[in-house]
Every structure is written in structure tokens, then in C-alpha cells.
Amino acid sequence: MEIHTRQLRYFVAVAEELSFTRAAQRLHVAQQGLSAQIRQLEKALDLVLFTRTTRSVELTAAGAALLDGVRSALTTLEMAVERARVAQRRESDRLVLGYLEGAALTLTEPILAAFREQHPGVTVDMRQFTYEEPAAGLENGTVDVAFVRLPFRAAGIRFEPLFAEPLVALVPAAHRLAELPEVRVRDLLDEPLLGAATTDPEWNAFWELHDHRDGRPAPVVSRSSSLLEELHKVAVGVGVVLTVASARWMPFPRVRVLPVADAPPNEVTVGWRVDHETPLVRSFVNIARRVRDANPDLVAGLEQPDLDDCTLPQHL
């Protein structure tokens, strides 16, 4: 049956007014159009709903039997629509932010502070992800936006760059490279390597230096889900790991932090799904961009950190 809610509302109005004229006035529609809609409803239902004379309109038995059900159906529909609107309002008052370990480093707090200032009624729900999910919830849509590090598989995801962080190698304190002021990529190629606990090929290719290996596989001896797990493994001599300069903020016994002079930096970005670019998401991205541009010294400190102390012994 092709039945429209408009026809049902018209039917209820006529049934309650028992007058096409009064019902049309109540609905603010033309009486001719109202009569046409009732005839279409009767045809669709194959029922006669009203008996009409020049002086009166009465419900038929079929019309009376239908009236209570139609009223109930319209009320149920209105309640469902209102619940949907409430859900949408609640959704618009909540932003789910995914992030990997470290988030956007020292840009994180000013970005969130600026967002809360502009959207005081919005709850920011922060969810941390491990190396197992480099997309930090963007790939499966469990977050609205995320602080992520490139590269990873990114179908349907857009990015706003924040800064590019230099890379370092973490090696055991007794390692042959430990006393050097810095290392180069070639110094690491034959070392037993700690990889990430992900199957993302782009992520693994970057952190395992695939572009420098002439097609040879990386000698990955173990995979980890977090920087802390990597630090424990490096400390006991399982292998070495390539990571970012901010790892120096987690001093760890028996681990040395060595700048990698010729490694490409790692790009930290805000990511979001193209098919979920809500006004709140756009606002968050714009605020992140504005905070980045307003803090050039902070960005420079992240992109060109003072690594002079990286070769000092690390202690608790």
C-alpha cells in the first residue's frame, strides 16, 4: 500500500471535525486538495472511510475501526522522530578523538583547550590506540577525528599536517653503537629489529626502513604494541627499534637514544573520514590548524628538538 503520513493526518482531522471544510481550515490546506487526499487513501486501503452528504460527514464502521490505530501510529512515529532528534543532538554534543601514544605531543593541550573554549558544551571522548591500529579508530569509524602518524593505509581518510618529528634509534646501553653521537640508516639495516604489532604494510614499511633494504626483508625479531613495551625489550637486548625523538621523554634504564641523521621525519597529523566530515569535525580540524599556525616556536621545537643529551646514559 502506498500510504503517506500526510493522508493519515488528513483522515484524523476529518474524522475529528466531521467536516471537510473545518478540517481544511484546521490543516491550512485547500478543501479540494484535502478531499482528493482522502479519496486516494480510501483507494489505497480499498475502504470507504466516510459517508458524505451535502449536509454531513460521518465515519463508516471501517473508518471508526481505523481511527484509533492511525492515531496510535502517528503518535508512535512522532515519538520515534523526537527520539532520533534527541540522539542527534547528543551526538553533536560529543566528539570522539582517537590518538596513538603521545597524541600530538605538546600541541595536544593547546588544541584541546581552544576546542573546549569554542565548544564549551561538547564532550571530548579521548580513546588511545596501540601500534596494532595505526589509524587510531579512523579505519573502522569508531572515532570522529584522530591524532595519527603517517603513513598507514588511508582509504577515505583526509589529513591536516601538524608537524614532522625526527627519528631516533633505541639501542641497549652496551650495544656497539651506543657511544656514537648519532647513527645513519645503514648502521641499522643489519640489526635485529623490533617491529610494530600491526599488519598495515605502509606503517611497517616506514618503521622497518623497507625503502633502504633493496628488497631484502627486515630482520624483525619481535613485535610490540607500545613504546613502553619496546623500551623493555631494548633494555634486555632483544633488538633495536626505530622511533621518534619524543621517546627521549621516557628515560629508561640501560637504553640509549641515538639520533638517526639521514632518516626521513615522521609526520603527525589530524585525520578524519571523508564520509564523516561533520560540522564538529571540521571545527576541530580548523582549530588544530589555527593552533599550529599560531605556535611556530612550539612546532619548531618538535621538528628540530635539542638532541644533544640523547647520547647520555639514561636513568630512572
The per-residue pLDDT for 287 is 98
The per-residue pLDDT for 84 is 76
CB 178 within 8 Å of CB 131:
no
Q: How confident is the model at residue 61 (pLDDT cuts 50, 70, 90)?
A: very high
Distances (CA, A) of 151 to 146, 198, 232: 14, 13, 25
The per-residue pLDDT for 308 is 66
Q: Name the nearest CA neighbour of 11 among 29, 34, 43.
A: 34
pLDDT digits (tens, 9 = 90+) for 114-169: 999 999 989 999 999 999 999 999 998 889 999 999 999 988 999 999 999 999 99
**Cα(25)–Cα(240) distance, integer angstroms:** 82
CB 189 within 8 Å of CB 260:
no
Burial class (CB in 10 A: 0-12, 13-18, 19+), 251: middle
Own/partner pairs for 299-303, CB < 8 Å, 24+ apart? 299/107, 299/162, 299/163, 301/106, 302/105, 302/106, 302/107, 302/163, 302/165, 302/246, 303/163, 303/164, 303/165, 303/166, 303/265
Q: Is pLDDT above 60 for 310?
A: no
Mean pLDDT score across all residues of the chain: 91
Across the range 267-272, mean pLDDT stands at 97
Q: The C-alpha cell of 91 is what?
A: 551526538
pLDDT digits (tens, 9 = 90+) for 141-153: 889 999 999 999 9
The per-residue pLDDT for 1 is 66
**Cα(129)–Cα(227) distance, integer angstroms:** 12
Q: The C-alpha cell of 87 is what?
A: 540522539
The per-residue pLDDT for 88 is 65
Q: How confident is the model at residue 24 (pLDDT cuts 50, 70, 90)?
A: very high
